[in-house]
Structure 1
């Protein structure tokens, strides 16, 4: 083991293979490549975080570099980004407002026919199908982006429309759960695969526009769904939203355009799951931390309408709170994602999960009025969903650029486990005396805090420093 540091150096690197790197603050370091050096450990007192373009599109195998020689970095690509905005508006906006529909079902069509655990499982099933199918969607790329987007749009819209005919809880599992979730997965990967083909330096802005549809969708669809349910009932609310979703997704299908040719039809299909990645201890620790913290994400979103009703708020008010929470979620992903580039993405993720957990345990517990519940919706919404912005680049920093595709594949598959959060919270509430919400609140906060603690342990293991930027 060698160890070196000169008077102008602020960082020390220790390597087990007798290689010593001495880097001055002015030098540029490719940290993601450095992290892939075999048998390497490093300690950094201060580390500059290098911005990357890693996102869900990185799950795709690299294509021939010659196709990137003339990327317009804009042009028609802004219409593709708009297509991403519209698709996220429908996909994640609908998933985020399941709490509004579940509360309506519990007091309407399925009253006495379905437990809270069963109802919460429907929204979780949709989210699980979206995540679980994502790594396998690149295997369909040979059929072309528009065909896949159209097929996914039909499945999503059909899932919502058929959900309006549901009279039993298992009908909803098949329609809004499996059918909608699988269709959303097809559309999601089509969009995130195409946007990077149009951008280089402006890729972050384009992906930001696309992801903003998530928050705007929840903000718009939550009060819309509540209003439609109160005026026309659950069946017609589903049909109207389903037809609207189909119209929006047809615009998405018309706008989306790939620059790169699809893989040949006779190309051998490769499995996106590489189990050798589980030999990387740091990566396995990251999977545990990410999945556990993400388990608390959907619990407050799904429970806000039900909890709001328990403290005397009307359905319209609670749906507005869900919309505000979704809007702040979008703001937080952009703003705190930018902060993460400055202070370290893993650091930012640990901080956001810690704050989200404390808010669930402390503020939500005492939010017994509209004003305090509004404060919780704003603050928790700001920090709750940073996983979706930071998980891909954090994964890239841990496993390296060369293994980002199988790394993200495993991350998406394992993250589907986090969908058990709402059903577990429901079971805890059922076992709580008088079915109080304290168990739900403490559970959501505890998994956030436990996930943050695991990620903090990973930071210490990787850097051997409390103050390093990673």
Structure 2
């Protein structure tokens, strides 16, 4: 007698192309190059706001804006990059290339329109909001497409992609200084705007999703913010630790040109030091991203955050000459920006790939809070006798160390060990 229970052919388990067959290479490395171009332009320009701020304070906006007001423009740009990422998440179903192209055009428009600014509020709308809004599309393109192509090499790929931020600053810093001195701020902005569009056009051609368009369109349109994510205590701890640590990132970058001039260095020396700092962020994001895949991404974030705080306490405080300030730029620049290549891999490890889009949206929105570190630093400086920088240096070190300790607690919760790989 035939057993009817055995007659039916067992169906294979349903496969999810988002989770299966991730190549960890192949065309993914071309996608990494396209993402490199995105961060090269976006953060390369965003990170040199200190040079434009210094130029505005002695020319077009002299007597019209305080240091706090000018520094807030750079913070607003970074806030816009983060808080508008949910808008770009809604366009993911139409392909990463559309996101990338839209962001490129908006950033170009933001820079060119900013060239006509004659009042402070003009820059808030153009450099702060419009450029930052366009940047959010590029930023989300980078963070969402890399996990499609990489798993075991994800931190390495993200490290190479985000190293463009440092190399972009290395290229834009002396270029902006030269253009402002030779042609003035308006034409410097226009040239940089078209430079942005040209570089991003190449990236838009190269970038593509691994997942087929039909799969993307079939995915239901959901809110990028899933409030249920906050029920995950580990995710909440990661949010708090990463935001607090990142609060110390922008202040030294924006303040470096002003600080260098305050200790008697020339504007050219100040620009060169900023270039060195940003170059170090590029080199170490690539190399330390590779190491992070081997020792653990969260481990690397904790180590770099702790070192960044230590360098702020013991080196920047005593940097009253070119040599000591150069040492600070090399060491602090090498550890300060590891949030950017590691945010996506760590979030994926904490919440899983299926919840990654919602997790990243929340992480990026909350990381906008960290941009307030710059106006906080400006307020601290104004309250410091003789407008000194000691309070800024202590604040930077403190938030980095605090963020590292919170993430160390997260690591212990996840692994029950302080020494294991995670």
Same fold judged by TM-score > 0.5?
yes
- 1:469, 1:74 → 2: CA distance? 23
By percentage of residues, which structure has more helix?
2
81-90 vs 424-433, which moves further: 81-90
Structure 1 position 349 matched with structure 2 position 321: no
TM-score by length of 1: 0.80
Cα 1:262/1:144, change in 2 over 3 Å: farther
* Aligned-pair Cα RMSD in Å: 2.5
CA distance 1:262–1:366, change in 2 (3 Å): farther
Would you say 1:119 and 2:70 are equivalent positions?
yes
* Pairing partner for 2:178 from 227, 234, 239: 227
Structure 1 residues 333 and 78, CA gap change in structure 2 (3 angstroms): closer
User: 2-side partners of 1:323 and 1:156: how far apart?
Assistant: 22
**Correspondence list, 1:223-262, <5 A:** 223-259=174-210, 260-261=212-213
Using the alignment, how far apart are the partners of 1:206 and 1:316 within structure 2? 34
Any gaps of 5 or more consecutive residues in structure 1? Answer: 1-62
- TM-score normalised over the length of structure 2: 0.89
Name the counterpart of 2:291.
339
1:211 to 138, 156, 162: 162
Tell me by how many angstroms 1:252 deviates. 2.0
Distance 1:94 1:422, change over 3 A: same
Contact 1:322 1:377 in 2 (8 A): yes
Q: Structure 2: 5+ residue runs without aligned partners?
A: 1-13
Give yes or no for the alignment of 1:385 onto 2:337. yes
Q: What count of residue pairs does the alignment treat as equivalent? A: 408
Give yes or no for contact 2:60–2:118 (8 Å, CA) kept in 1.
Answer: yes
Bigger CA drift: 244-253 or 421-430?
244-253
- For residues 140 and 344 of structure 1, the distance between their equivalents in structure 2, rounded to whole angstroms, comes to 32
Cα deviation, 1:143-168, whole Å, max 9, x if unaligned, reads 44333322211110110111111111
In structure 1, how many angstroms separate the alpha carbons of the residues matched to 2:387 and 2:74? 21
Equivalent position SS for 2:84:
helix
Distance 1:397 1:243, change over 3 A: closer
> Would the alpha carbon gap of residues 392 and 202 (structure 1) be closer, same or farther in structure 2, given more than 3 Å must change?
closer
C-alpha separation in 1, matches of 2:336 and 2:216: 41
In the superposition, relative to structure 1, how do residues 76 and 454 fare at CA in structure 2: closer, same or farther (>3 Å)? closer
Map 1:269-284 → 2, pairs under 5 A: 269-284=221-236
Deviations 1:180-216 (A, max 9, x none): 1111111232344445555677666554443232121
Paired position in structure 1 for 2:322: 370
Q: 2:96 is matched with which residue?
A: 145
1:82–1:394 distance in 2 versus 1, CA, 3 Å: closer
SS of alignment partner, residue 116 of structure 2: coil
- Larger mean CA deviation between 316-325 and 127-136 belongs to 127-136
CA distance in 2, matches of 1:67, 1:363: 46
